[in-house]
A and B are shown apart, each in its own frame.
Chain A
Amino acid sequence: MTDAAFTLTIDGTVVAAKPGQTIMEAADAAGIYIPRLCDHQGLRHQGGCRVCTVKAAGRSVAACTQPAAPGLAVENETPHLHALRRDLVEMLFHEGNHLCPICEASGNCELQAMAYRLGMIEPSKFPYLEPTRPVDASHPDIALDTNRCISCGRCIRASEDVDGKGVFGYVGRGIHRRVAVDGADLAHTDAALSDHAVSADVCPVGCIIRKREGFRVPIGERDFDHHLIGETIAEKRR
C-alpha cells in the first residue's frame, strides 16, 4: 500500500482521501455529512450504533470504521439507508425512556436532533420497552440518568483514552448491555467535573448530567434550535 492520496465517490461525488482514513473521515473532510451517534471527534471509532451505515461496493458497512479505498463507490443519502437509519434511531427511543419535553438535554441532544433530521415525527413502529432504570445522583457534581443512555460508549472511550480513568464501562450482554460505573455508584468513582468524559458534548443525550446547569441556556440559543445536526460539516462544501 502506498501513501498516495486517492479518490472514491460518495453518492456520485468524487472525494479525495488518504490511506488510513475511514469513509466517514474522508466524507467529513469533503463536507459530506454521514449521520452518526457513537462516533465523536477525538475519540477512537467504535462502529457501535450503526447509524452511519452506508453501502460500499454494495455491502452495508459502518462508515466510521470502514477504511476508504481507491475507487470505492459509496452510497450515503439513499431512501433505503435513510429508512434504515430512522429505524435504528427509533429503536433507541423505544429501548430507553426518552422524555424530551422534560429533559435538560433537549435542544442540545444528538439523539433528538438525529430524529428530527431523519424525519422521525413520532416513534410508532415498535413497542416501548419502558425499562426501569435508576438515577444515580450520588456524586456532588455529576448525575447519571441511564433512562436516557443509548449505549454509544462515548463516555467509556473518553474516560479510558483521554482521562486515563475508566470511570465508565459496559455491563450485561445483548439487549441488556448498558453503561455502568466502576464502583458502587458515581460517588465511589474518581469521576470529576473536569473529566473529558463528563464534558458537555461527550454524552450525546441527557444521561451524564452536570449538576445544577440544566436549563440555563434559553430556548433559541441551544445547539440545534436553528440548524439540523450535521450542518456544520455540510457547510464546508459551500
Chain B
Amino acid sequence: MSEPRLIEISPVTRVEGHGKVTIHLNRDNQVDEARLHVVEFRGFERFIRGRLYWEVPVIVQRLCGICPVSHHLAGAKAMDQIVGVDVLPPTAEKMRRLMHYGQVMQSHVLHFFHLAAPDLLFGFEAPAERRNIFEVLREQPELGRRAVLMRQFGQEIIEATAGKKIHGTGAIPGGINRNLPIAVRDRFLSRIAEMETWALEALAIARNYTLDHAELVADFGSFPSSHMSLVRDDGALDLYHGSLRAIDSSGGVIFDHLDYNGYHKVLVEDVRSWSYMKFPFIRALGAERGWYRVGPLSRMNTASFIDTPLADAAHRELRAVTGGAPNNSTLTSHWARMIEVVHCVEKIRELLHDPDLQGSDLVARGERRFEGIGVIEAPRGNLIHHYKVDENDQITYCNLIVSTTHNNEGMNRAVKDVAVKHLSGRDKITEGMLNQVEVAIRAYDPCLSCATHALGQMPLQVELLDAEGQLVDRATRGA
C-alpha cells in the first residue's frame, strides 16, 4: 500500500497546442483515472461574431499554424453557401483542391517525421534527449532531409495557391483569387516524380513498422469505436468534399450519404468540467455509446476505395490486416497517414496536368443566404464550420467542430488504455513509461489549439480539500 498519487504530464510534447495528462494512481498503485486536458482557450467561435463574412476564411485559419488551410477552406466552403454558390467554377475548385492536397501532404509529413518518428525509430522508452527531429536528422540524415524537402514541396503548393505558405488568402467566398501560371506548374511537375518515390518510401516505413510490431500495435491503445468521415458519392476517399458516412466498430453503417448541412441532426456536442474541449457524439447512439473517431485511420475504415492507384493498393493491404473489418488500433494511424501522403502526391500530379488550373473564371455568385456550413477532411480528420450571417453581412453565430474535438473521447480512451496497461501496479514510474501515454496521444496527431472554443456554457467544478486531501466542499456550475 502506498499513498494515492497524481501524476501530471505537462505539457504533452510533440503535438500542436497545449495540453496535459493527469493520471490518478490509488493506494494499490492501480490507475483510477487518466485524462487528457486541454488547458488553453481560443474562443474563435465568440470573437468572430460581428465580423464581415468575407473575412471568415482569413480569420479562422489563424486557429492553427500547422493546418491553417483546412480552416481557410472549411470557412470558404461555408461562405460559398452564404453567397449562394453550390458549384464552384472548375478552376476555383481545382485550385482549392490543389491547396488542400499540398497541405495534407506537408502536415502528415510533419507529423510522421518530425513528431512521431523519434518514438518509432528509437523506441517509446528511449532517453528523452534522443526523442526529437534533430536525432532523426543525425542518425538518418537522408531520411530527415527528405522529410524537410517533402514538407517544402507541400508548403510551396500552398504558397502557389494561397499566396503564402502559412495564412494566405487564396479562397474567397464563391471561388479563388488566383490561378496557377504555367511556369509555376512546370516547377512542381519537375519534382513530382521524386515526391512520389519518397512518399512510397515513407509509406513502406510506416507499413513495415505496423506489420513488424503487430503484437504491440494490436494491443497499444486499441479499442473498438465508431468512425466518421466525408466520402465521395461513390464511397471513395475524398479529402475536400462529399457526404458524411459513419460506421460502427464492426463496419455496420450508422449513417451514409448524409448531406453535411444536416450534421447537427446527427451529432451532439457534450461538455465536461475538466477540459476546454467539447465531446461530440452521434445522437442516435447517445452520449455513452455515441463517441467516434476521425482522421486518417478512420478514413481508411470508412472509404470504400481510393481513386488513385498507388494509394488504393496500399489501402487494400491495410484493410486486409483486419480482414476488411474496421481497424481500431491507434498505432495503425501512421500507416494510414502515409497512404494519404501517397494519395495527395498522386492527386497533385493529376491536377498539375489539368488545364483548368490555368482558367480565368475564378469566382461564382448566387443568391445571398443567411446560413452556411463547410465541411472538409483536414489532415487530422473531419472538420465542420457552421456560420450564420445577418442582412448586414456580419457573423451572428459560429460553431466549429474540429478533428481533435471529434477525437476527444478516443484520445482519452487511448490515454487510459495505455496508462492502465503500462503504469498500473508499478512502484516506480519512469519518464519512458509516461512517454508511452504521449505516444498514444500523438498517434491522433491532435491539434489542441484548434479545438478549444466552448464559451458561455462551460461547466465548472471547484473542490475544496483539507490538508489530508478530504473533500470539504464542492461547487458545481452547469452540466
Q: Are A216 and B62 in contact (CB under 8 A)?
A: no
Residues of B in contact with A, size category: 20 to 34
Cα separation A218 to B170 with both chains bound (whole Å): 7
- Known contacts A101-B167, A138-B392: does B54 contact A215 (CB below 8 Å)? yes
Q: Are B177 and A217 in contact (CB under 8 A)?
A: yes
Question: CB-nearest residue of chain B relative to A145?
Answer: B52
Cα separation A35 to B50 with both chains bound (whole Å): 34
Q: Are A212 and B54 in contact (CB under 8 A)?
A: yes
Minimum CB–CB distance for B7 against chain A, Å: 39
Minimum CB–CB distance for A187 against chain B, Å: 9
Q: Are B172 and A102 in contact (CB under 8 A)?
A: no
- Known contacts A137-B394, A211-B393, A212-B393: does B169 contact A218 (CB below 8 Å)? yes
Q: Are A137 and B55 in contact (CB under 8 A)?
A: no
Interface residues of B in 28-74 (CB under 8 A from A): 50-52, 54-55, 57-59, 62
In the complex, whether B425 has a CB less than 8 A from a CB of chain A is: no
- Known contacts A137-B393, A216-B172, A218-B177: does B163 contact A104 (CB below 8 Å)? no
Chain B residues near A211 (CB-CB < 8 A):
52, 393
Q: Are B177 and A214 in contact (CB under 8 A)?
A: no
- Known contacts A102-B58, A104-B55: does B178 contact A218 (CB below 8 Å)? yes
Question: CB-nearest residue of chain A relative to B171?
Answer: A215
Q: Is the interface of A mostly helix, strand, loop or mixed?
A: loop
Contact with A along B383-402 (1 / 0, CB 8 A): 00000000011100000000
Chain B residues near A137 (CB-CB < 8 A):
52, 392-394
Q: Are A102 and B54 in contact (CB under 8 A)?
A: no
Question: CB-nearest residue of chain A relative to B164?
Answer: A219
In the complex, whether B168 has a CB less than 8 A from a CB of chain A is: yes
Cα separation A102 to B61 with both chains bound (whole Å): 10
Chain B residues near A218 (CB-CB < 8 A):
163, 169-170, 177-178
In the complex, whether A209 has a CB less than 8 A from a CB of chain B is: yes
Minimum CB–CB distance for B305 against chain A, Å: 36
Chain A residues near B172 (CB-CB < 8 A):
214-216
Question: CB-nearest residue of chain A relative to B394?
Answer: A137
Question: CB-nearest residue of chain A relative to B172?
Answer: A215
Q: Are B177 and A215 in contact (CB under 8 A)?
A: yes
- Known contacts A143-B393, A220-B163: does B52 contact A215 (CB below 8 Å)? no
Chain A residues near B169 (CB-CB < 8 A):
215, 218-219
Q: Are A216 and B51 in contact (CB under 8 A)?
A: no
Cα separation A59 to B58 with both chains bound (whole Å): 45
Contact with B along A208-228 (1 / 0, CB 8 A): 010110111111100000000
Question: CB-nearest residue of chain A relative to B83?
Answer: A212
Interface residues of B in 326-363 (CB under 8 A from A): 363
Question: CB-nearest residue of chain B relative to A134?
Answer: B50
The 8 Å CB contact of B54, one of A104, A217, A220, is A104
- Give the interface centre of A104, A215, A217 by most chain B CB atoms within 10 Å: A215
In the complex, whether A83 has a CB less than 8 A from a CB of chain B is: no
- Known contacts A143-B393, A220-B163: does B52 contact A214 (CB below 8 Å)? yes
Chain A residues near B51 (CB-CB < 8 A):
135
Cα separation A135 to B393 with both chains bound (whole Å): 11
Chain A residues near B59 (CB-CB < 8 A):
102
Question: CB-nearest residue of chain A relative to B159?
Answer: A219
Chain A residues near B50 (CB-CB < 8 A):
135
Chain B residues near A104 (CB-CB < 8 A):
54-55, 58
Chain A residues near B52 (CB-CB < 8 A):
135, 137, 143, 209, 211, 214
Minimum CB–CB distance for B178 against chain A, Å: 4
Chain B residues near A102 (CB-CB < 8 A):
55, 58-59, 62
Cα separation A92 to B156 with both chains bound (whole Å): 35
Cα separation A102 to B178 with both chains bound (whole Å): 19
Chain A residues near B62 (CB-CB < 8 A):
101-102
Chain B residues near A101 (CB-CB < 8 A):
58, 62, 167
Contact with B along A129-153 (1 / 0, CB 8 A): 0000001011000010000000000
Minimum CB–CB distance for B314 against chain A, Å: 36
Chain B residues near A135 (CB-CB < 8 A):
50-52, 394
The 8 Å CB contact of B58, one of A138, A209, A215, is A215
Question: CB-nearest residue of chain A relative to B161?
Answer: A218
- Give the interface centre of B58, B172, B392 by most chain A CB atoms within 10 Å: B392
Minimum CB–CB distance for B91 against chain A, Å: 13
Chain A residues near B363 (CB-CB < 8 A):
216
Chain A residues near B57 (CB-CB < 8 A):
215
- 5 A-B pairs within 8 Å (CB atoms) are namely A214-B54, A214-B55, A215-B169, A215-B177, A219-B162
Which residues does B use to contact A, with CB under 8 Å?
50-52, 54-55, 57-59, 62, 162-164, 167-170, 172-173, 177-178, 363, 392-394
Given A104-B54, A104-B55, A219-B164, 6 more contacts at CB 8 Å?
A102-B59, A138-B392, A209-B52, A214-B172, A218-B170, A219-B162
